[in-house]
Every structure is written in structure tokens, then in C-alpha cells.
């Protein structure tokens, strides 16, 4: 039997350290402080992280397609909603100056993308399967492979963030962030299922994982952190 993972130490660091910021009279001014990927419209290329990079090279790693639906607490699709994704590369390193892991960067992989759900709440990303990486803690803990998802409602102030994991990963039993979810069923809802499917039109072959995101209700997709 696997031993219980070390409790996640990140929660104290996520608490506010400053007093609330007083917004001007116009509530929509909060949008000015929201995270954005750019000023252009969302295009089909934004959801394929294997293609929207500089240069003519190809990202290194296992090509995967992750698809699913965004649903409300009654199982109804939520259409036309913005989803953002970010992740480590195949070596387990983020293209971010704050990541000091000594794994190599991939010059052909930015690790970030976005898409809009369709009228049926469906969304799809094509990317490279991320690698695990060490937390740098005294117990030498590692994070399981995962994708970060950001979901927006009608405004940036309604942003929700969660993580998706991959079934069969041996590190799932030891990932302290995943085990911050309250119970085994909640952790299961954070895990994508491999689904054999034909390759998408005009896309190189990739392994497909299915993962629905449910907002609220008795079986929500729980955000572990």
C-alpha cells in the first residue's frame, strides 16, 4: 500500500498578505487587473500548443489531445466560455523565469494556450504531455504530471483555477497537491481518462484524454489549490 503523501505546504503561502484593494466606483474597472493572454480574438491555433510557437521546430515529447465538456451543476453545457491552459514541458519545466528546475527548456514550446467552448460546451486542446518535476522539499517529493486550467465566467473576476491529472500515473498516490482534494472521489474527478480515438483532421496522431469540468453541484470538479 502506498504511504500517504506529505501534507501540501503551499496553502499558507496563498493567503493574502495585504489588505483588500479598494476598487473605483465602476465595478468593471476590475477587468483592468485580470490576467489576459493578449488583445486578439481567440483562434483555432491558440488551442494547439504544438504549433503556436516561434520558429519552424517541433516541440519535444508525447503529443496528446485533451477534450471534454464544460457543464453546470445540472449537467447542462456552458457555451462560449474562455478556458486557458498552462503546463510544464515534457522534461517537467515551465517556460517561466520563476522555475529554477535544472531540466531543459524547449525552445519550441511555450506551455500556454486558450480556447472557447462551443455551443455544446465542448473544448479541445492539443499539446505535449507534461513531465513530473521535484518540489524541492526536504522529503524529495515530486509533482505528478498535470495541466493547469483557468475558467472564466462572464468576467475575469469570476475566474476559477484547477488542475487535471492523467490516469495510471504512479505519482498520483504521492502528489500532495492532488491529495489536498477532500476525498478519493473528488481526486478521481480531477483525473483524465485515456480514450482511444482516430486522430483529428489535419492533426498528427496523438493520444486522446477525456475530462469533463463540472461547476458546482454534488459532483464538482474540485480545485485542489
User: What sections of the chain are H helices per DSSP?
Assistant: 184-189
Distance CA 134, CA 157 (A): 32
Can you give the C-alpha Rg of the chain in angstroms? 18
**Catalytic one of 53, 148, 179, 187:** 148
Task: Look up 194 and say whether it is catalytic.
Answer: no
Residue from 159, 178, 156 nearest 169 by CA: 178
Distance CA 195, CA 83 (A): 21
Helix, strand, coil % in the chain, rounded to nearest 5: 15, 25, 60
Task: Look up 33 and say whether it is catalytic.
Answer: no
**Catalytic one of 69, 93, 143, 179:** 143
Task: Look up 108 and say whether it is catalytic.
Answer: no
Q: Which three three-digit cell numbers place residue 223?
A: 480545485
Task: Look up 80 and say whether it is catalytic.
Answer: no
**Catalytic one of 69, 93, 94, 165:** 94
Distance CA 165, CA 66 (A): 11
**Catalytic one of 69, 93, 146, 179:** 146
**Catalytic one of 53, 114, 133, 209:** 133
Residue from 62, 88, 210, 85 nearest 142 by CA: 88
Contact 181, 144 (CB under 8 A): no
Active-site residues, by number, are 94, 133, 143, 146, 148
Amino acid at each position: 500500500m502506498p504511504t500517504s503523501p506529505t501534507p501540501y505546504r503551499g496553502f499558507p503561502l496563498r493567503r493574502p498578505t495585504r489588505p483588500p484593494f479598494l476598487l473605483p466606483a465602476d465595478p468593471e474597472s476590475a477587468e483592468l487587473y485580470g490576467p489576459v493572454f493578449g488583445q486578439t480574438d481567440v483562434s483555432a491555433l491558440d488551442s494547439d500548443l504544438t504549433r503556436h510557437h516561434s520558429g519552424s521546430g517541433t516541440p519535444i515529447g508525447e503529443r496528446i489531445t485533451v477534450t471534454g465538456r464544460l457543464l453546470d451543476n445540472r449537467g447542462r453545457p456552458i457555451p462560449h466560455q474562455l478556458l486557458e491552459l498552462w503546463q510544464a514541458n515534457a522534461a517537467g519545466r515551465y517556460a517561466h523565469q520563476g522555475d529554477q528546475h535544472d531540466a531543459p527548456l524547449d525552445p519550441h514550446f511555450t506551455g500556454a494556450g486558450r480556447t472557447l467552448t462551443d455551443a455544446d460546451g465542448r473544448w479541445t486542446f492539443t499539446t505535449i504531455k507534461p513531465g513530473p518535476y521535484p518540489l524541492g522539499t526536504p522529503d524529495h517529493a515530486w509533482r505528478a504530471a498535470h495541466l493547469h486550467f483557468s475558467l472564466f465566467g462572464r468576467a475575469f473576476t469570476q475566474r476559477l483555477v484547477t488542475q487535471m491529472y492523467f490516469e495510471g500515473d504512479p505519482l498520483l498516490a504521492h502528489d500532495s497537491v492532488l491529495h489536498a482534494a477532500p476525498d478519493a472521489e473528488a481526486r478521481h474527478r480531477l483525473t483524465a481518462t485515456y480514450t482511444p480515438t482516430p486522430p483529428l483532421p489535419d492533426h498528427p496522431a496523438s493520444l486522446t484524454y477525456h475530462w469533463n469540468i463540472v461547476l458546482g453541484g454534488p459532483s464538482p470538479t474540485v480545485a485542489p489549490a
